[in-house]
Amino acid sequence: MRTLLSHRPGGPETLLIEERPDIAPGPGEVLIDVHAAALNYPDVLLIQDLYQIRPPRPFAPGSEVAGVVRAVGSGVARFRVGNRVIGTAAWGGLATQFIVPEANCIAIPADMPFDEAAALIVTFATSHYALRDRAALRPGETLLILGATGGVGIAAIQLGKAFGARVIAATSSPEKAALARDQGADATIIYPADLSGRDSQRAVTDALKAEGPIDVILDPVGGPLSEAAVRSIGWQGRHLIVGFTAGIPTPPLNLLLLKGASFVGVFYGDFTRRNPDRRNEYLAEIVALHAAGAIRPHISRRLPLERAAEGLAALAERSATGKIVIEMGAK
Protein backbone atom coordinates (compact mmCIF):
# COMPACT_ATOMS: atom_id res chain seq x y z
CA MET A 1 0.00 0.00 0.00
CA ARG A 2 0.98 3.66 -0.41
CA THR A 3 0.94 5.99 2.55
CA LEU A 4 2.03 9.49 3.58
CA LEU A 5 4.15 9.22 6.73
CA SER A 6 5.37 11.54 9.47
CA HIS A 7 8.83 10.43 10.70
CA ARG A 8 9.60 13.56 12.75
CA PRO A 9 7.68 16.55 14.13
CA GLY A 10 7.24 19.33 11.62
CA GLY A 11 5.06 20.88 8.95
CA PRO A 12 3.54 19.24 5.87
CA GLU A 13 6.85 19.49 4.02
CA THR A 14 8.31 16.82 6.35
CA LEU A 15 5.86 14.12 5.20
CA LEU A 16 7.06 11.35 2.89
CA ILE A 17 5.18 9.08 0.46
CA GLU A 18 6.23 5.47 1.00
CA GLU A 19 5.30 1.99 -0.12
CA ARG A 20 4.51 -0.29 2.82
CA PRO A 21 3.36 -3.91 3.05
CA ASP A 22 -0.37 -4.53 2.89
CA ILE A 23 -2.05 -4.75 6.28
CA ALA A 24 -4.59 -7.15 7.77
CA PRO A 25 -7.39 -6.53 10.29
CA GLY A 26 -7.30 -7.97 13.79
CA PRO A 27 -10.28 -9.12 15.86
CA GLY A 28 -13.12 -6.63 15.73
CA GLU A 29 -11.46 -4.58 12.99
CA VAL A 30 -12.39 -3.62 9.42
CA LEU A 31 -9.85 -3.13 6.62
CA ILE A 32 -10.90 -0.53 4.04
CA ASP A 33 -9.57 0.00 0.53
CA VAL A 34 -9.53 3.78 0.60
CA HIS A 35 -11.02 5.72 -2.31
CA ALA A 36 -11.00 9.16 -0.67
CA ALA A 37 -9.73 10.73 2.54
CA ALA A 38 -10.52 14.19 3.94
CA LEU A 39 -8.10 16.56 5.64
CA ASN A 40 -8.84 18.38 8.89
CA TYR A 41 -7.00 21.05 10.87
CA PRO A 42 -6.07 18.64 13.70
CA ASP A 43 -4.00 16.70 11.13
CA VAL A 44 -1.71 19.74 10.93
CA LEU A 45 -1.35 19.85 14.71
CA LEU A 46 -0.81 16.10 14.94
CA ILE A 47 2.27 16.05 12.69
CA GLN A 48 3.80 18.90 14.73
CA ASP A 49 3.22 17.16 18.09
CA LEU A 50 0.86 20.00 19.02
CA TYR A 51 -2.32 17.93 19.39
CA GLN A 52 -3.77 16.29 22.50
CA ILE A 53 -2.43 12.90 21.41
CA ARG A 54 0.96 11.87 20.00
CA PRO A 55 0.96 8.71 17.88
CA PRO A 56 4.10 6.59 17.73
CA ARG A 57 6.13 7.37 14.61
CA PRO A 58 6.09 6.78 11.79
CA PHE A 59 2.37 7.41 11.32
CA ALA A 60 0.09 8.74 8.62
CA PRO A 61 -2.17 11.67 9.46
CA GLY A 62 -5.78 11.58 8.36
CA SER A 63 -8.84 10.73 10.44
CA GLU A 64 -11.68 10.09 7.98
CA VAL A 65 -11.87 8.02 4.83
CA ALA A 66 -14.43 6.43 2.54
CA GLY A 67 -14.00 3.27 0.53
CA VAL A 68 -14.84 -0.41 0.23
CA VAL A 69 -14.36 -3.13 2.84
CA ARG A 70 -11.42 -5.33 1.81
CA ALA A 71 -11.43 -7.71 4.78
CA VAL A 72 -12.88 -8.06 8.28
CA GLY A 73 -11.40 -9.51 11.44
CA SER A 74 -12.94 -12.16 13.63
CA GLY A 75 -16.00 -11.09 15.54
CA VAL A 76 -17.07 -8.40 13.07
CA ALA A 77 -20.81 -8.76 12.55
CA ARG A 78 -22.08 -5.63 10.81
CA PHE A 79 -19.81 -5.51 7.75
CA ARG A 80 -18.61 -7.82 5.03
CA VAL A 81 -16.23 -7.63 2.07
CA GLY A 82 -17.52 -5.26 -0.60
CA ASN A 83 -19.55 -2.96 1.66
CA ARG A 84 -19.23 0.79 0.99
CA VAL A 85 -18.26 2.54 4.22
CA ILE A 86 -16.87 5.55 6.03
CA GLY A 87 -14.08 4.86 8.51
CA THR A 88 -12.77 7.16 11.24
CA ALA A 89 -9.78 7.01 13.58
CA ALA A 90 -7.40 9.49 15.17
CA TRP A 91 -4.74 8.94 12.48
CA GLY A 92 -3.74 6.62 9.62
CA GLY A 93 -6.17 7.77 6.94
CA LEU A 94 -3.72 9.10 4.35
CA ALA A 95 -3.03 5.67 2.97
CA THR A 96 -4.57 3.39 0.38
CA GLN A 97 -5.51 0.94 3.15
CA PHE A 98 -7.00 1.88 6.53
CA ILE A 99 -7.94 -0.26 9.54
CA VAL A 100 -10.64 0.89 11.95
CA PRO A 101 -12.55 -0.76 14.79
CA GLU A 102 -15.97 -2.01 13.72
CA ALA A 103 -17.55 0.65 15.94
CA ASN A 104 -15.82 3.37 13.87
CA CYS A 105 -17.20 2.09 10.57
CA ILE A 106 -20.39 3.53 9.04
CA ALA A 107 -22.30 2.04 6.11
CA ILE A 108 -23.12 4.47 3.30
CA PRO A 109 -25.72 4.29 0.53
CA ALA A 110 -24.73 3.13 -2.93
CA ASP A 111 -25.41 6.57 -4.39
CA MET A 112 -23.26 8.54 -1.93
CA PRO A 113 -20.04 9.67 -3.70
CA PHE A 114 -16.85 8.60 -1.94
CA ASP A 115 -15.47 12.15 -1.84
CA GLU A 116 -18.58 13.47 -0.08
CA ALA A 117 -18.64 10.48 2.25
CA ALA A 118 -15.01 11.05 3.26
CA ALA A 119 -15.75 14.72 4.01
CA LEU A 120 -19.00 14.11 5.89
CA ILE A 121 -18.15 12.96 9.39
CA VAL A 122 -15.50 14.94 11.26
CA THR A 123 -16.70 18.49 10.57
CA PHE A 124 -20.40 17.68 10.40
CA ALA A 125 -20.22 15.45 13.48
CA THR A 126 -18.43 18.19 15.44
CA SER A 127 -20.91 20.88 14.42
CA HIS A 128 -23.90 18.57 14.87
CA TYR A 129 -22.80 17.62 18.37
CA ALA A 130 -22.10 21.26 19.22
CA LEU A 131 -25.45 22.58 18.01
CA ARG A 132 -27.78 19.70 18.80
CA ASP A 133 -26.28 18.41 22.04
CA ARG A 134 -24.18 21.10 23.71
CA ALA A 135 -26.22 24.17 22.67
CA ALA A 136 -29.64 22.52 22.23
CA LEU A 137 -30.22 24.94 19.35
CA ARG A 138 -33.92 25.67 18.89
CA PRO A 139 -35.88 26.72 15.79
CA GLY A 140 -36.07 30.49 15.51
CA GLU A 141 -32.88 31.15 17.49
CA THR A 142 -30.02 33.18 16.04
CA LEU A 143 -26.76 31.32 15.47
CA LEU A 144 -23.46 33.15 14.88
CA ILE A 145 -20.65 31.15 13.30
CA LEU A 146 -17.09 32.43 13.50
CA GLY A 147 -14.66 31.37 10.77
CA ALA A 148 -17.75 30.37 8.86
CA THR A 149 -16.12 29.08 5.66
CA GLY A 150 -13.87 26.46 7.22
CA GLY A 151 -15.00 22.85 7.30
CA VAL A 152 -16.67 23.12 10.71
CA GLY A 153 -18.14 26.51 9.83
CA ILE A 154 -19.79 25.45 6.58
CA ALA A 155 -21.14 22.33 8.28
CA ALA A 156 -22.60 24.57 11.00
CA ILE A 157 -24.25 26.87 8.45
CA GLN A 158 -26.02 23.94 6.80
CA LEU A 159 -26.96 22.27 10.08
CA GLY A 160 -28.12 25.55 11.61
CA LYS A 161 -30.54 26.03 8.72
CA ALA A 162 -31.64 22.38 8.93
CA PHE A 163 -32.43 22.96 12.63
CA GLY A 164 -34.50 26.05 11.83
CA ALA A 165 -32.14 28.75 13.10
CA ARG A 166 -31.32 32.15 11.65
CA VAL A 167 -27.63 31.96 10.71
CA ILE A 168 -25.10 34.79 10.76
CA ALA A 169 -21.72 33.95 9.23
CA ALA A 170 -18.60 35.85 10.31
CA THR A 171 -15.84 35.71 7.69
CA SER A 172 -12.62 37.53 6.85
CA SER A 173 -13.27 38.55 3.21
CA PRO A 174 -16.06 39.42 0.76
CA GLU A 175 -15.30 36.24 -1.19
CA LYS A 176 -15.77 34.09 1.90
CA ALA A 177 -18.94 36.00 2.78
CA ALA A 178 -20.33 35.17 -0.67
CA LEU A 179 -19.50 31.49 -0.11
CA ALA A 180 -21.23 31.55 3.27
CA ARG A 181 -24.37 32.98 1.66
CA ASP A 182 -24.20 30.29 -1.02
CA GLN A 183 -24.14 27.71 1.77
CA GLY A 184 -27.31 29.15 3.31
CA ALA A 185 -26.27 31.93 5.72
CA ASP A 186 -28.98 34.55 6.24
CA ALA A 187 -26.50 37.35 6.98
CA THR A 188 -22.74 37.85 6.92
CA ILE A 189 -20.26 39.97 8.88
CA ILE A 190 -16.76 40.62 7.51
CA TYR A 191 -14.16 41.12 10.22
CA PRO A 192 -10.70 42.66 9.64
CA ALA A 193 -7.55 40.55 9.64
CA ASP A 194 -6.12 42.64 12.50
CA LEU A 195 -8.36 42.57 15.57
CA SER A 196 -5.67 43.45 18.09
CA GLY A 197 -7.02 46.95 18.72
CA ARG A 198 -10.08 47.80 20.81
CA ASP A 199 -11.56 49.95 18.03
CA SER A 200 -11.57 47.08 15.51
CA GLN A 201 -13.05 44.69 18.07
CA ARG A 202 -15.73 47.21 18.98
CA ALA A 203 -16.64 47.65 15.31
CA VAL A 204 -17.21 43.89 14.98
CA THR A 205 -19.28 43.83 18.17
CA ASP A 206 -21.42 46.73 16.94
CA ALA A 207 -22.01 45.01 13.60
CA LEU A 208 -23.10 41.83 15.37
CA LYS A 209 -25.37 43.69 17.79
CA ALA A 210 -27.09 45.26 14.79
CA GLU A 211 -28.15 41.77 13.75
CA GLY A 212 -30.01 41.35 17.04
CA PRO A 213 -29.19 39.36 20.18
CA ILE A 214 -27.15 36.24 19.45
CA ASP A 215 -28.47 33.05 21.06
CA VAL A 216 -25.62 30.69 20.12
CA ILE A 217 -22.04 31.38 19.00
CA LEU A 218 -20.10 28.55 17.39
CA ASP A 219 -16.41 29.42 17.77
CA PRO A 220 -13.61 27.37 16.17
CA VAL A 221 -11.41 30.50 15.93
CA GLY A 222 -10.66 31.92 19.38
CA GLY A 223 -8.28 34.87 19.67
CA PRO A 224 -9.58 38.47 19.78
CA LEU A 225 -12.55 37.57 17.55
CA SER A 226 -13.99 35.55 20.43
CA GLU A 227 -14.06 38.56 22.74
CA ALA A 228 -15.64 40.76 20.08
CA ALA A 229 -18.31 38.11 19.47
CA VAL A 230 -19.14 37.32 23.09
CA ARG A 231 -19.96 40.98 23.69
CA SER A 232 -22.91 40.55 21.31
CA ILE A 233 -24.35 37.49 23.04
CA GLY A 234 -27.97 37.65 24.16
CA TRP A 235 -29.69 36.67 27.39
CA GLN A 236 -28.84 33.07 28.33
CA GLY A 237 -26.77 32.74 25.17
CA ARG A 238 -24.36 29.83 24.68
CA HIS A 239 -20.82 30.38 23.36
CA LEU A 240 -19.57 27.06 21.99
CA ILE A 241 -15.79 26.64 22.30
CA VAL A 242 -14.68 24.40 19.42
CA GLY A 243 -11.06 25.39 18.74
CA PHE A 244 -8.38 28.07 18.76
CA THR A 245 -6.99 28.56 15.25
CA ALA A 246 -6.30 32.22 16.14
CA GLY A 247 -5.08 31.57 19.67
CA ILE A 248 -6.59 31.08 23.12
CA PRO A 249 -8.74 34.09 24.03
CA THR A 250 -9.10 35.95 27.33
CA PRO A 251 -12.80 36.87 27.31
CA PRO A 252 -14.49 39.19 29.82
CA LEU A 253 -16.22 36.73 32.13
CA ASN A 254 -18.33 39.47 33.71
CA LEU A 255 -20.35 39.56 30.50
CA LEU A 256 -21.51 36.00 31.09
CA LEU A 257 -22.83 36.97 34.51
CA LEU A 258 -24.65 40.04 33.17
CA LYS A 259 -26.23 38.08 30.31
CA GLY A 260 -26.87 34.85 32.22
CA ALA A 261 -24.82 33.28 29.42
CA SER A 262 -22.51 30.27 29.27
CA PHE A 263 -19.25 29.12 27.74
CA VAL A 264 -19.72 25.52 26.61
CA GLY A 265 -16.82 23.23 25.70
CA VAL A 266 -17.16 21.06 22.60
CA PHE A 267 -14.76 18.11 22.76
CA TYR A 268 -16.24 15.74 20.22
CA GLY A 269 -13.44 13.18 20.47
CA ASP A 270 -13.95 12.50 24.15
CA PHE A 271 -17.73 12.56 23.73
CA THR A 272 -17.46 9.67 21.26
CA ARG A 273 -15.47 7.60 23.75
CA ARG A 274 -17.77 8.34 26.68
CA ASN A 275 -21.09 8.04 24.82
CA PRO A 276 -20.70 5.59 21.91
CA ASP A 277 -24.43 4.85 21.64
CA ARG A 278 -25.37 8.52 21.41
CA ARG A 279 -22.51 9.07 18.96
CA ASN A 280 -23.95 6.36 16.69
CA GLU A 281 -27.41 7.94 16.97
CA TYR A 282 -26.01 11.30 15.90
CA LEU A 283 -24.00 9.81 13.02
CA ALA A 284 -27.15 8.14 11.72
CA GLU A 285 -28.87 11.53 11.83
CA ILE A 286 -26.06 13.07 9.78
CA VAL A 287 -26.23 10.35 7.11
CA ALA A 288 -30.02 10.77 6.99
CA LEU A 289 -29.71 14.55 6.60
CA HIS A 290 -27.32 14.01 3.69
CA ALA A 291 -29.66 11.49 2.08
CA ALA A 292 -32.51 14.01 2.41
CA GLY A 293 -30.44 16.71 0.70
CA ALA A 294 -30.36 18.96 3.78
CA ILE A 295 -26.55 18.92 4.05
CA ARG A 296 -23.70 18.38 1.62
CA PRO A 297 -19.96 18.84 2.21
CA HIS A 298 -18.43 21.74 0.34
CA ILE A 299 -15.27 20.31 -1.23
CA SER A 300 -12.99 23.12 -2.34
CA ARG A 301 -10.04 21.01 -3.56
CA ARG A 302 -9.43 17.45 -4.66
CA LEU A 303 -5.80 16.29 -4.69
CA PRO A 304 -3.93 13.01 -5.23
CA LEU A 305 -2.03 11.47 -2.33
CA GLU A 306 1.24 12.77 -3.77
CA ARG A 307 -0.03 16.34 -3.23
CA ALA A 308 -1.68 15.85 0.16
CA ALA A 309 1.01 17.99 1.80
CA GLU A 310 -0.26 20.94 -0.27
CA GLY A 311 -3.69 20.50 1.22
CA LEU A 312 -2.31 20.33 4.75
CA ALA A 313 -0.28 23.48 4.09
CA ALA A 314 -3.47 25.29 3.01
CA LEU A 315 -5.10 24.28 6.30
CA ALA A 316 -2.05 25.45 8.25
CA GLU A 317 -2.13 28.82 6.45
CA ARG A 318 -5.90 29.09 7.01
CA SER A 319 -6.38 29.71 3.29
CA ALA A 320 -8.64 26.69 2.73
CA THR A 321 -12.40 26.89 2.54
CA GLY A 322 -14.70 23.94 3.16
CA LYS A 323 -13.03 20.55 2.87
CA ILE A 324 -9.95 19.30 1.02
CA VAL A 325 -10.25 15.71 -0.14
CA ILE A 326 -7.44 13.36 -1.15
CA GLU A 327 -8.55 11.00 -3.93
CA MET A 328 -6.66 7.73 -4.05
CA GLY A 329 -8.76 4.90 -5.41
CA ALA A 330 -8.07 1.39 -4.17
CA LYS A 331 -4.46 0.25 -4.58
Q: CB of 286 within 8 A of CB of 120?
A: yes
Domains 2-120+298-327 and 135-265 share a fold: no
Which pLDDT band holds residue 329 (cuts at 50, 70, 90)? low
3-state secondary structure of 300: strand
| CATH class entry, domain 135-265 | alpha beta
For domain 2-120+298-327, give the CATH number: 3.90.180.10
Q: CB of 188 within 8 A of CB of 168?
A: yes
Per residue in 222-270, pLDDT tens? 889 998 999 999 999 999 999 888 788 888 888 899 999 999 999 998 8
pLDDT at 52 over 90: no
Per residue in 128-169, pLDDT tens? 999 999 999 999 999 999 999 988 999 999 999 999 999 999
pLDDT at 331 over 80: no
Orientation angle between helical segments 276-291 and 121-128, nearest 10 degrees: 110
CA 21 to CA 118: how far, in whole Å? 24
Structure confidence at residue 246 (pLDDT): 79
Which pLDDT band holds residue 320 (cuts at 50, 70, 90)? confident
Structure confidence at residue 330 (pLDDT): 47
Instruction: Kindly report the backbone phi and psi dihedral angles of residue 248, in degrees, each rounded to the nearest multiple of 5, phi listed first.
Output: -80, 125
Ranges of each domain in the chain: 2-120+298-327, 135-265
Overall size of the chain counted in residues? 331
CA 10 to CA 169: how far, in whole Å? 33
* Residue 243: CA count within 13 A, CB half-sphere: 23
